[in-house]
Amino acid sequence: MTTKTEDPALPAGETLERMTMNLKKVEELSERLHRVMTSRQGHNPALDAPGHDLFGRAAQSWWSEAVHNPAKVLEHQMSYWSDTMKHFVQAQQTLAKGKLSAPEDPGPSDRRFTNPLWDTHPYFNFVKQQYLINAEALTRAVDEMGDLEPLEKNRLTYFARQIVDMMSPTNFLATNPDALERAIETEGQSLVQGLENLIHDLEANNGELVVKLADEDAFELGRNIATTPGSVVYRNRMMELIQYAPTTDEVCKTPLVIFPPWINKYYILDLKAQNSMVKWLTDQGYSVFMVSWINPDPTYADIGLEDYIEDGYLAAIREVREITGEKQVNAVGYCIAGTTLSLTLSLLKQRGDKSVKSATLFTALTDFSDQGEFTPFLTDDFIDGIEEEIADKGVLPSVIMARTFSFLRSNDLIYTPAIKSYMMGETPPAFDLLYWNGDGANLPGKMARQYLRGLCQRNELAEGGFELLGHRLKLSDVTVPLCAIACETDHIAAWKDSYRGVQQMGSKDKTFIVTQSGHIAGIVNPPSRKKYGHYTNPDLSLDHTDWLEDADFNEGSWWPRWEAWLKKRSGKQIPARIPGDSSHPVLCEAPGTYVAGKATL
């Protein structure tokens, strides 16, 4: 392994002194680590892994296969041992040559192994290739396992992948050449800083390890993020209502009210001027209103979906109508807020209320019959664990949801940033989207149970109706003009599942758009970026495969296409409205107070 020194002229005594100081710092940090770990609140162990019964059934399935089809099992084992022994012999031959040369076949490329030493150094190359052999053997064993229900097979595959990702040699100091080189270059300072980063993350989350993805000191709400001018014109126990200042002399008559997800904060749609949907919409001449949800504490334990509808959706629609003097609004719902907007539209239909003129859904699921990558987290043992956590804390803590979402993309959202922060001692990047991602919110206990049991597990909205507020709410009751945007690589709300829900809605006027990229980047895709394109197809009678196959691909952002759709449903031009009125005085300037609430217990 080659090394380099940041200051080659540094005297040996001074180098020793620096290393001694770093060792002393490690002792001090170790004491802090001990304190935070001994005082950690912890969480229900059912949220970390499936029950022993799943692994028991997997073992039973493996032994059954061994008895009934021993040749297959032997073939798998012999293949593994053959690859391992061949690899070992090749490594011995390389070492016997007495020189550190690259093997003839360094193995498959993997972005985790970009350091040249993974290919050129016999030790690191041996470690890498043996890891890849082990990973392939475990993955193949799970793939070929029979006698398991599809749900169990899905869960076993997921947790096997977690084991494979966790055991990567890049995740351990002794087998990570980047981290070792950095430690030598900095006389151990990188390891000290890494330990400090680790302890800071633990302290910030009551002993739970959630890797910080962005430099929190680089952003300040209202200064360089969430900066679009506006005012809070209404507030209740569930939300603040922000009305944005116009940037055009005239605006569309019908106001637009946006309901963001309450799992995170609203400013995903107002990150900075260059990628702010809010600013872009005001520049197009709309009266834009945004709901900013409260970050619930344990006193909100009994708050349910009915409270979000009554004191969130219906209250916001009512106040926007009063402020603007309009009979109708156009509404947008993002993710879980789109699901709940669909519930609200069904309720309004059954009440004969025509307050909503059109609706737009961003990455919203309403039919949960195919739970996709979330299947491992929607089984009884996991949700039982969540309910026990809720019974203990009153809310589903944000840290639990952050961990769950992160493990769906563990290499990108856990291990890679952890290596950079804890092994390399690097400061997380100043990235606005990742800053938002780490600014989570708790979920009220009752609401979390309703969502997970009634909507996700039992799929009641799409199958028979969801009982709420004295009504049985159904997708067929969603009859307003509808535009739905889904994201091609979304791992949270798969586009085909969003599409299936839209197909069941009763609207005669339905538009469906699939944008490239994922749950966030696909939505936060301003035209100026000229990055991701989108697919369109007016024939929503097709199944999702045929819909995409027959769809037209369009270069560039979907925002202008949606805006053209929205403009047709937004009425004539009128003089621009300033925030508030005589009965809705400005309570404070945007971004408001609720958005600053942190998810603490």
Q: Find out whether 374 and 409 touch, Cβ atoms under 8 Å.
A: no
pLDDT grade for 457, boundaries at 50, 70 and 90 = very high
The secondary structure of 180-197 as a DSSP string is HHHHHHTTTHHHHHHHHH
Three-state DSSP at 589 gives strand
Q: Nearest to residue 279, comparing CAs of 524, 585, 556, 592?
A: 524
Instruction: For 87, list phi and psi in degrees, rounded to 5.
Output: -65, -40
Q: What is the mean pLDDT of residues 187-207?
A: 86
pLDDT of residue 13: 62
pLDDT of 239 > 90? The answer is yes
Q: What is the mean pLDDT of residues 232-250?
A: 98
CA atoms within 13 A on the CB side of 428: 26
pLDDT of 407 > 60? The answer is yes
Q: Nearest to residue 536, comparing CAs of 495, 506, 479, 569?
A: 495
Alpha helix ranges (H) inside 150-266: 150-166, 177-185, 189-204
pLDDT grade for 53, boundaries at 50, 70 and 90 = low
Q: Find out whether 321 and 355 touch, Cβ atoms under 8 Å.
A: yes
Which tokens in the block code for residue 293?
Answer: 């949800």
pLDDT of residue 4: 40
Domain that holds residue 371: 230-377+439-596
The top-scoring range by mean pLDDT among 71-80, 190-199, 271-280, 401-410 is 271-280
Instruction: For 348, list phi and psi in degrees, rounded to 5.
Output: -60, -40
Could you tell me if residue 260 is inside a domain? yes
Hey, what long-range contacts does 551-556 have (CB within 8 A, 24 or more apart)? 551/514, 556/527, 556/530
- Nearby residues of 81 by Cβ (< 8 Å), 6 or more positions away: none
pLDDT of residue 61: 53
Average pLDDT taken over every residue of the chain:
87
Could you tell me if residue 586 is inside a domain? yes
Task: Indicate the Cα dihedral angle 129, 130, 134, 137, nearest 10°.
Answer: 60
Render the burial of 380-399: b for 16+ CB within 10 Å, e for the rest.
eebbebbbebbeebbbbbbb
Could you tell me if residue 278 is inside a domain? yes
Q: Nearest to residue 482, comparing CAs of 338, 295, 372?
A: 338
pLDDT of 78 > 60? The answer is no
pLDDT of 211 > 50? The answer is yes
The secondary structure of 506-569 as a DSSP string is --SSEEEEEESS-TTTTTS--GGG----EEE-S-TTS-HHHHHHHPEEE-S-SHHHHHHHHHTT
512-533 pLDDT tens trace: 999 999 999 999 999 998 899 9
Render the burial of 450-470: b for 16+ CB within 10 Å, e for the rest.
bbbbbbbeebbbbeebbebbe
The catalytic site residues sit at 335
Q: Between the CA of residue 305 and those of 42, 311, 450, what are the distances in Å? A: 27, 10, 7
458-474 pLDDT tens trace: 999 999 999 999 999 99
Based on the structure, what is the number of domains in the chain? Answer: 1
147-191 pLDDT tens trace: 677 777 777 788 888 888 988 999 999 999 999 999 888 888 898
Render the burial of 356-378: b for 16+ CB within 10 Å, e for the rest.
bbbbbbbbbbbbbeebbebbbbb
Could you tell me if residue 20 is inside a domain? no
Which tokens in the block code for residue 484?
Answer: 């739905």
Q: How far apart are CA 448 and CA 438, in angstroms?
A: 20
pLDDT grade for 90, boundaries at 50, 70 and 90 = low
pLDDT of residue 451: 96
pLDDT of 205 > 50? The answer is yes
Q: How far apart are CA 11 and CA 431, in angstroms?
A: 38
Q: How far apart are CA 517 and CA 489, in angstroms?
A: 5
Could you tell me if residue 78 is inside a domain? no
pLDDT of 49 > 60? The answer is no
pLDDT of residue 138: 85
Q: How far apart are CA 235 and CA 310, in angstroms?
A: 14
pLDDT of residue 170: 94
Q: What is the CA radius of gyration of the chain?
A: 27
Alpha carbon 409 to its chain centroid, in Å, reads 9
pLDDT of 7 > 60? The answer is no
Could you tell me if residue 124 is inside a domain? no
270-296 pLDDT tens trace: 999 999 999 999 999 999 999 999 999
Q: How far apart are CA 341 and CA 309, in angstroms?
A: 8
Could you tell me if residue 29 is inside a domain? no
Beta pairing partners, 581: 584
299-325 pLDDT tens trace: 999 999 999 999 999 999 999 999 999
Q: Which of 26-40, 151-165, 338-352, 430-444 has the lowest mean pLDDT?
A: 26-40
CA angle centred on 96, ends 95 and 101, rounded to 5°: 45
Which tokens in the block code for residue 47?
Answer: 């949220």
pLDDT grade for 257, boundaries at 50, 70 and 90 = very high
Element (H, E) at 289: strand 288-293
User: Which of the pair, 539 or 85, is modelled with greater confidence?
Assistant: 539
Could you tell me if residue 242 is inside a domain? yes
Work out the burial of residue 475: count CB atoms within 10 Å of its CB; fewer than 13 is exposed, 13-18 middle, 19 or more buried.
Answer: buried
pLDDT grade for 405, boundaries at 50, 70 and 90 = confident
Alpha helix ranges (H) inside 352-412: 380-393, 398-407, 410
CATH code of the domain in which 349 resides: 3.40.50.1820
User: Which of the pair, 22 or 225, is modelled with greater confidence?
Assistant: 225
pLDDT grade for 1, boundaries at 50, 70 and 90 = very low
pLDDT of residue 42: 64
pLDDT of residue 208: 77
pLDDT grade for 409, boundaries at 50, 70 and 90 = confident
pLDDT of residue 3: 40
pLDDT of 555 > 90? The answer is yes
Element (H, E) at 34: helix 12-38
pLDDT of residue 411: 85
Element (H, E) at 72: helix 70-96
354-394 pLDDT tens trace: 999 999 999 999 999 987 777 778 888 889 989 999 999 99
Q: How far apart are CA 202 and CA 422, in angstroms?
A: 12
With pLDDT > 70 as the criterion, what percentage of the chain qualifies?
85
Task: Indicate the Cα dihedral angle 34, 193, 173, 428, nearest 10°.
Answer: 110
Q: Between the CA of residue 474 and those of 343, 369, 477, what are the distances in Å? A: 7, 15, 6
pLDDT of residue 599: 74
pLDDT of residue 31: 78
pLDDT of residue 274: 93
pLDDT of residue 583: 95
- Nearby residues of 224 by Cβ (< 8 Å), 6 or more positions away: 272
Q: What is the mean pLDDT of residues 435-440?
A: 90
